[in-house]
């Protein structure tokens, strides 16, 4: 599910929702549930708001979507609060 460019607008709502659920299953996302993501209004909550949420946790959401090795790295290095430890950021 690679993006054509660096804009989150290029990914469909359903694909973005699937990706967020995958992050929950892989225990990268620690605060949300699959039910929450299913009911998340992606029109009212902008994708850039979600992107900033992950940036605050030290995670580059665009890179997470596009780069499988970065995804694996984050999956291994994310702490119990869902933050990527500072020394583990790439």
Binning pLDDT at 50, 70 and 90, where does residue 33 land?
A: very high
CA distance 11 to 32: 20
pLDDT tens column, 52-87:
999 999 999 989 998 999 999 999 999 988 888 765
The pLDDT value recorded for residue 3 is 44
Structure tokens at 7: 């804009």
- Which pTM does this prediction carry? 0.82
CA distance 86 to 72: 16
What are the sequence ranges of the domains in the chain? 12-84
Q: What's the mean pLDDT when you consider all of the chain?
A: 85
- 3 state SS for 11-74: CCHHHHHHHHHHHHHCCCCCCCCHHHHHHCCCCCCCHHHHHHHHHHCCCCHHHHHHCHHHHHHH
Residue 7, helix vs strand vs coil? coil
């Amino acid at each position: 599910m690679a993006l054509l460019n660096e804009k989150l607008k290029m990914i469909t709502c359903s694909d973005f929702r699937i990706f967020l659920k995958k992050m929950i299953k892989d225990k990268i996302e620690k605060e949300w549930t699959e039910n929450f993501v299913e009911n998340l209004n992606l029109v009212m909550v902008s994708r850039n708001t979600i992107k900033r949420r992950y940036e605050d946790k030290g995670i580059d959401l665009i890179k997470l979507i596009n780069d499988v090795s970065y995804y694996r790295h984050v999956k291994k290095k994310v702490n119990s609060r869902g933050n990527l430890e500072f020394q583990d950021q790439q």
